[in-house]
Amino acid sequence: MSIPPRAVPESSLDPGAVAPPAISATRLLYWSVRRELWENRSLYIAPLAAATVYLVGFLIGLPDKMRTVSALDPAKRSIALIMPYSHAALLLIVIGFVVAIFYCMDALHGERRDRTVLFWKSLPVSDFTTVLSKASIPLLVLPLLLFVVIVVLELLMLLLSSVVLLVSGVGAATLWAQLPLFQMELVLLYILIVLALWYAPLYGWLLLVSGWARRAIFLWVVLPPLVIGAFERIAFRTSHFSSLMKDLLVGFAANAFAFRTPDGALIDPHFIPLAQLTPGKFMSSPGLWIGLMFAVIFLTAAVRMRRYREPI
């Protein structure tokens, strides 16, 4: 009695069969970033909520504000008109920074905590692509989102102010003439780029700790700098490391902006003219490139941490 041969799918014997196309690295990165946005809705909900609250508050106090501004002399009127817009931008930038901090601290730790890292590792997405997608959120996606939200908010504020002026019988031409909205948006974009580049080592450090620590992420983030600073102070009576940490937080300002005019007068921080931006000085500052070098080191270590660390 002969045994019939095992059936073999025809496609596996067909020499002309085409293997499924490989997914490009760019597409994998794109969908990885989309995944981060799906899983972390606070990235866009927090700025939108803050913008909504600010717009409501601005609308409530708008009539009195317009009457007060109209009574000012022209020299002070321009700054008074700009102040609400600069305050709105500052508020959203601070909120975006806080959101980025908490996102980075949970980015790699969260998937280890709920053990979804096992599922994501089963997909054809490398650890490098995953960490790069997470790093791109505070470095690229969130700054772009903040820029769009702030521009839309300021346009709505401008339109509402124009309506109030028209209803009150005052022309809105003065408002549009004295409010340098285009320059403000260019300066805003410049500020967001500066902050993203300057804080890159901070975000890299947070991602590294997120991928390494088992618990108490915030403690492990702040404890090493505090210990190093305290040790230097006690052992050598110096505070170089503390100065370095201070420079990491606010050192970008001295390199990215000139806060004095050529004749030595201080400019009002509510509006920084385009002439006072110093991108050449910022891009050539050693602190920026040293920070970017550490950012690369931290992100490289975070990739290895994700590859070898087990779920919690």
Q: In this predicted model, what pLDDT tens digit does every residue of 49-79 receive, in sequence order? A: 999 999 998 888 777 776 666 666 666 667 7
Q: pLDDT at position 1, please?
A: 45
Q: Which domain holds residue 61?
A: 43-308
**Within a domain: residue 228?**
yes
Alpha-carbon distance of 247 to 252, in angstroms, equals 7
Asked if residue 157 lies in contact with residue 149, where contact means CB atoms within 8 angstroms, the answer is no
**List of residues 6+ apart from 25 with CB closer than 8 A:** 129
Residues of the chain with pLDDT under 50: 1, 5-8, 10-13
Q: The whole model's pTM is what?
A: 0.86
Please, which residues have CB within 8 angstroms of residue 291's CB and are 6 or more apart in sequence?
198, 200, 201, 248
Number of domains composing the chain? 1
Q: Is residue 30 part of a domain?
A: no
- DSSP letters for 55-103: HHHHHHTHHHHHHHHHTS-HHHHHHHHHHHHHHHHHHHHHHHHHHHHHH
pLDDT of res. 11: 46
In a domain, 148, yes or no: yes
Instruction: Give pLDDT, residue 18.
Output: 53
Give the residue among 70, 144, 86, 65 at the shortest CA–CA distance from 273: 86
Angle at 303 between CA 302 and CA 307, to 5 degrees: 115
Q: Write down the pLDDT at residue 143.
A: 96
Residue with tokens 């022209």: 74
Q: What SS3 state is found at 277?
A: strand
- Give per-residue pLDDT as tens, 110-167: 888 888 887 777 888 888 999 999 999 999 999 999 999 999 999 999 888 877 777 6
Position 12 in a domain = no
**29 part of a folded domain:** no
Question: Which among 111, 107, 113, 106 has a CA at the least distance from the CA of 312?
Answer: 113
- Would residue 158 count as lying in a domain? yes
> Mapping DSSP to helix (H, G, I), strand (E, B) and coil, where does residue 243 land?
helix
pLDDT at 110: 85
On the CB side of 52, CA atoms within 13 Å amount to 6
Q: Is residue 232 part of a domain?
A: yes
Neighbours of 199 (CB within 10 A): 21
Q: Which residues pair with 137 in a beta bridge?
A: none
116 within domain boundaries: yes
With helix as H, strand as E and coil as C, how does 187-231 read? HHHHHHHHHHHHCHHHHHHHHHHHHHCCCCHHHHHHHHHHHHHHH
Q: What are the φ/ψ torsions at residue 311 (nearest 5 degrees)? A: -60, 155
Query: By C-alpha distance, which of 140, 48, 143, 150 is closest to 90?
Result: 150
